[in-house]
């Protein structure tokens, strides 16, 4: 056998070994890829502990079959100090609300508020949900609210507030992210609409000036957990529309939240008195931005069916 034959056989052997090596390496890589766990794209749990955080709803929609009762209470402002015990004995506002989740990601509800004897009906849908390790980086939820002012006609100027004049609406698009088990933030853009242009006294008491039908605003809120059941919470609402008369003031609120598996209790100091979102975002000029703070609390109770 000549040297060229030996060389040829050696080359063939080297080629075979190379191919076998590549196949074994490919198989090993394939096994590693198969063994690598897939990213968990399930929705994160508890971006917030409740559908409410102070004056705003959150991106949270409870699981299908959840029934919820809300009690939202606002005492009077602290302006008078000890005379009405910093607002606790001043005229207060309260809303009783009920919500249900008939299908996944959709919440519907209604409530009745002392201020303006307002009945409101709302729906909220979770458009996108933040994934645990992949998927959407944020949660996006849309909420719509329709309110009916049911006060007696004698509360309004003559020949006003007929029929659909009593209707108002609120649209809110919320974007939130849970950055860690302890820290979550949410921002939203809000549009309030009133079929009737609110009439407010001008410099001349006999003169009534009209506000705009629509009001655009932004809201920001956050939660920082300090223990499994206790959190520090904050809320800021910023009106954007220039009404030229009685512009609404911003609202700053902060407090604490205590939760259990079926309850959430929040107590805070803030500047919104009206509770119903379109009223809060459009008529917050009733509280002085420097002295108009008030104490409020929210209680929510969940049942699952």
Assigned CATH for 52-304: 2.40.160.40
In which band, very low, low, confident or very high, does the pLDDT at 20 lie, cut at 50, 70 and 90?
very low
pLDDT, average across residues 200-205: 73
Domains of the chain, by residue range, sit at 1-36, 52-304
Of 75 and 37, the structure prediction assigns the larger pLDDT to 75
Average model confidence (pLDDT) for the chain? Answer: 86
- The C-alpha atoms of residue 292 and residue 268 are separated, in whole angstroms, by 14
pLDDT in the model for residue 198: 79
Backbone angles phi, psi at 81, to 5 degrees: 60, -130
| Range with lowest mean pLDDT among 115-129, 151-165, 266-280 | 151-165
> Model-level pTM?
0.83
Q: Is 86 left (phi over 0), alpha (psi -120 to 50) or beta?
A: left
Query: For 154-189, what is each residue's pLDDT tens digit?
Result: 777 776 777 888 999 999 999 999 999 999 999 999
Query: For 205-246, what is each residue's pLDDT tens digit?
Result: 677 788 889 999 999 999 999 999 999 999 999 999 988 777
pLDDT in the model for residue 60: 96
- Is it the case that residue 13 has pLDDT exceeding 60? no
Report CA-CA distances (Å) from 30 to 35, 77, 238.
8, 67, 54
- Is it the case that residue 267 has pLDDT exceeding 80? yes
- Is it the case that residue 143 has pLDDT exceeding 50? yes
């Amino acid at each position: 056998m000549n040297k060229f034959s030996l060389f040829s056989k050696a080359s063939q052997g080297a080629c075979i070994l190379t191919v076998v090596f590549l196949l074994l390496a490919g198989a090993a890589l394939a096994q590693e890829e198969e063994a690598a766990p897939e990213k968990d794209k399930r929705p994160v749990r508890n971006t917030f502990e409740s559908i409410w955080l102070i004056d705003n709803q959150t991106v949270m929609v409870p699981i299908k079959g959840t029934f919820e009762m809300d009690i939202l209470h606002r005492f009077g402002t602290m302006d008078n100090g000890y005379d009405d015990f910093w607002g606790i004995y001043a005229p207060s506002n309260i809303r009783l609300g009920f919500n249900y989740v008939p299908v996944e990601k959709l919440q519907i509800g209604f409530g009745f508020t002392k201020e303006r004897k307002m009945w409101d009906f709302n729906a909220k849908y979770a458009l996108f949900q933040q994934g645990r390790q992949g998927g959407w980086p944020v949660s996006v939820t849309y909420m719509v609210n329709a309110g009916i002012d049911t006060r007696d006609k004698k509360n309004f100027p003559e020949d006003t507030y007929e029929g659909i004049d009593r209707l108002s609406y609120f649209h809110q698009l919320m974007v939130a992210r849970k950055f860690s088990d302890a820290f979550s933030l949410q921002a939203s853009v809000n549009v309030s609409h009133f079929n009737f242009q609110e009439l407010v006294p001008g410099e001349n008491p006999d003169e009534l000036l009209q506000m705009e039908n629509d009001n655009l605003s932004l809201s920001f809120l956050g939660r920082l957990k300090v223990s499994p059941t206790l959190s520090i919470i904050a809320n800021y609402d910023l009106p954007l529309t220039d009404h030229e008369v009685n512009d609404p003031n911003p609202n700053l609120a902060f407090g604490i939240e205590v939760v259990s598996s079926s309850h959430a209790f929040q107590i805070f100091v803030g500047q919104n008195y009206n509770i119903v979102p379109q009223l809060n975002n459009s008529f917050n000029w009733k509280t002085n931005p420097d002295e108009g703070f008030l104490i409020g609390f929210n209680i929510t109770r969940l049942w699952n069916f």
